[in-house]
Amino acid sequence: MYTKPYIKLLIILILMFTLSGVSTAQENEPTAVATGKGMWIYLGNEIPAGLEYQVLKSVGNGDFIPVGTTSYRGDRGTMKDMAEKYYPLFGNLEKPTESELSLLRNYVSRSKTTDSVYISNFPLMHLLLGTAFFDTEVDPGKTYRYRVAKIAGKDRLWERTSNRVNFPAETDLPKPKFGSKQEFATQVVVRWYVTGESNLSSFLVYRRVFGQGGYQRMDISRGFNVSQDTIYLIAADTAVQEPALYEYYIRPLDIYGNSGPESEVVSAGTVGSVSYPVPDYFNARGGAKDHQVELVWKFSVTGYLSSIELYRSKSYDTGYMRIARLSPNDTSFTDIVPVANENFWYYLITVGPNGNSTPSAKVSAMFRNSGEKPLPPEETGAESIKGGVKVYWSCQEPYAKGFYVYRYVYETAEFEQVSGLIPAGAEIYSFADTARYLQGNEVYRYAVRTVNDVDQLSDYSETASASPGKKATVGSPMNLRITVRDKGILLIWDDMRPTEPVLLGYKVFRKEDPDGRYELLPGDTLKNDLNFYRDTSLVTGKRYRYTVTAIDFYGNESPQSVSVSYVPEASTVIAPEILRAVNTKEGILVSWGQVTDEKAVAVKVYRSRPGMNPLPVITLQKTSDEYLDKSVSEGELYTYEISVINEGDRESLHSSGVTVRRQSGN
């Protein structure tokens, strides 16, 4: 005789679970909470009997607009109607009973605040007492804030603003993990657990029988146990039959009915120790088409089984892999084997309340070819490549072993094979025909055939044509020249696209005269429409020499162009030092000494902030000796530098920097 476990404490969830989430909305300050169907707003702890709460809403940073009022209406019929109206908003929580509604009415008759009253559906309780408001007019992805005013007669006693809340609801509830289970003839007890702090308040239990149909929400005994930072969630199901196999999972809830991630499914039941049935027969035979192998079996008893699993291997002893998981009511399965004319071995196992059975006897079968011709390749194309023609194609034939490429011979009006077997297994295939006798001025036509795993050839694919990529070396760039630009030079040469239709781009080389070696500059293989190059990495006083080559799509590179040289000149203009940088009411005033160099034409002012490079803010005439910077921010630290520009558009070195913090009070 077994002993029924003591589960009386499972009947009601511990009150401390529920009260742990109340604190967020039990102060006097308004509190907004997102739920699955809208926004619940706690207004205050004073029950609005003889007064009312007015609620206003702000969307994002918008203005507050009125959305409703609340007051307490405690007659029995009104409270019952309100409970029916609001309960669907919190359907995950318990529906208030008549005794709980009576408790609320009696409580209000002797109390003015909600500090000492509680029913299991916490948010609905406050809606019935008028100390909460529910806003269903909310949109996903938006942020809301609420303002609550307490009004007595014509007097506005106070006005307070809630927190900001995003919709929809987000919870920090953890995913429950399976702990243990107990199986008896008249009940099943399953335990899950969560660790760490969270807003967990209660949980829902879902069940289905023998893996059939959908899960049903169960109204069964639930409880808890606490050990250090771990909470054990316990479900005791007495609505069971014998024998039967059940599957359970739970969904954690916070105090507002918002749900967290559901647990994994746990199987448990009242079946006790049930032996696994042995199949009456299990056979396999090759099908008539499409690489099919037919498997059939029969069980006399399947009532305790949850599924049947089939396994396949090329070897009798090892390498088995599961190929199907089926209902216990299934009696056949069609397997599609990867290759024909090869033997495959099979066995099955059953999955029941106590795990998996041992494997059944092994059976074997093979698919033998029945004369099916494979599909020909698709999307056949051809293009010129250096020294030949590239042919490419795709194929949807599931049992292809490979492909052969053919070239059309006009003299004989037939195709001749030009490739060996190209193995299957890619998405796009290609073959390069680089026979020496291909002529660059000829057009060649190609087709491809599929060979399957039993060496049958498909029809020819659609044909594709191209000329071999045999072409003379590309010419050199012409008329290389230099234009001096600010902080560097611009190399320019003639556009070669009109004379080189397969031009890919250019390469630019530089060396130091007279004994340096040419080095490739950054920008290798420039675009073919960029017949220029800017070089800003020059050092004053050195002599540089440049040359350019062209390259085409076939990889040909031209000889170097005629070279040109250039010597950067040193600037002789010197920037004056900044005398001061001071705050004014309008901005920061920067002053410097007079520019006396006759070659100077302008003064450029630079500004930076900590960790940033100096950037130009304005260019002034050389007669200017100060600048008022109005585009500055309060409290920011700025550093100013200046430079001088001469007649050749050359810029001097920057002056020393002067730093000042913007303060508008000066």
Q: Are 69 and 157 in the same domain? A: yes
Q: Report how far residue 379's alpha carbon sits from residue 361's, in angstroms, rounded to the nearest whole number.
A: 47
Task: Decide: helix, strand or coil at residue 443.
Answer: coil
CATH assignment at residue 195: 2.60.40.10
Per DSSP, helices labelled H in 43-192 are 76-86, 98-110, 122-129
Distance, CA of 36 to chain centre: 24
Report residue 597's pLDDT band, with 50, 70 and 90 as the boundaries: confident
Report residue 441's pLDDT band, with 50, 70 and 90 as the boundaries: low
**Residue 1 belongs to some domain of the structure:** no
Task: Decide: helix, strand or coil at residue 339.
Answer: coil
Amino acid at residue number 226: V
Pairing of strands 444-452, 464-466: antiparallel
Q: Are 182 and 150 in the same domain? A: no
Q: Report how far residue 478's alpha carbon sits from residue 595's, in angstroms, rounded to the nearest whole number.
A: 44
Last residue of a domain, one of 533, 566, 599: 566
pTM higher than 0.85 for the full model? no
Last residue of a domain, one of 120, 145, 166: 166
pLDDT at 20: 39
pLDDT at 16: 38
Q: Are 25 and 155 in the same domain? A: yes
**Residue 332 belongs to some domain of the structure:** yes
What are the E-state strand segments in 321-399? 321-326, 332-336, 344-352, 355-356, 363-365, 378-385, 388-394
- DSSP string spanning 543-568? -EEEEEEEEETTS-BPPPPPPEEE-P
**Residue 274 belongs to some domain of the structure:** no
Q: Report how far residue 454's alpha carbon sits from residue 109's, in angstroms, rounded to the nearest whole number.
A: 91
**Residue 51 belongs to some domain of the structure:** yes
Angle at the Cα of 370 from the Cα atoms of 364 and 374, rounded to 5 degrees? 110
**Residue 475 belongs to some domain of the structure:** no
Q: Are 63 and 147 in the same domain? A: yes
Residue 213 burial by CB count (10 A; 0-12/13-18/19+): exposed, middle or buried? exposed
Selection from 474, 465, 469 nearest residue 439 by Cα: 469
Last residue of a domain, one of 566, 592, 608: 566
Angle at the Cα of 359 from the Cα atoms of 353 and 360, rounded to 5 degrees? 110
Q: Are 21 and 151 in the same domain? A: yes
* Number of independent structural domains in the chain: 6
pLDDT at 21: 39
Q: Are 68 and 126 in the same domain? A: yes
Report residue 651's pLDDT band, with 50, 70 and 90 as the boundaries: confident
Q: Are 494 and 554 in the same domain? A: yes
**pLDDT higher than threshold 90 for residue 24:** no
Domain coverage including residue 286 = 281-365
**Residue 666 belongs to some domain of the structure:** no
Element (H, E) at 177: strand 177-183
pLDDT at 471: 62
Q: Are 22 and 156 in the same domain? A: yes
The predicted-structure confidence for 387-434, as pLDDT tens digits, reads as follows: 889 999 999 888 888 999 999 988 778 899 999 999 998 888 999 998
- List the single range of 90-94, 282-286, 522-526 with lowest mean pLDDT: 522-526
**Residue 553 belongs to some domain of the structure:** yes
pLDDT at 574: 76
Selection from 389, 499, 474, 500 nearest residue 439 by Cα: 389
Q: Are 437 and 338 in the same domain? A: no
Q: Are 33 and 150 in the same domain? A: yes
**Residue 444 belongs to some domain of the structure:** yes
Report residue 165's pLDDT band, with 50, 70 and 90 as the boundaries: very high
Q: Are 452 and 488 in the same domain? A: no
Q: Report how far residue 110's alpha carbon sits from residue 600's, in angstroms, rounded to the nearest whole number.
A: 92
Q: Over the chain, what is the mean pLDDT?
A: 86
Q: Report how far residue 42's alpha carbon sits from residue 162's, in angstroms, rounded to the nearest whole number.
A: 9
Q: Are 317 and 340 in the same domain? A: yes
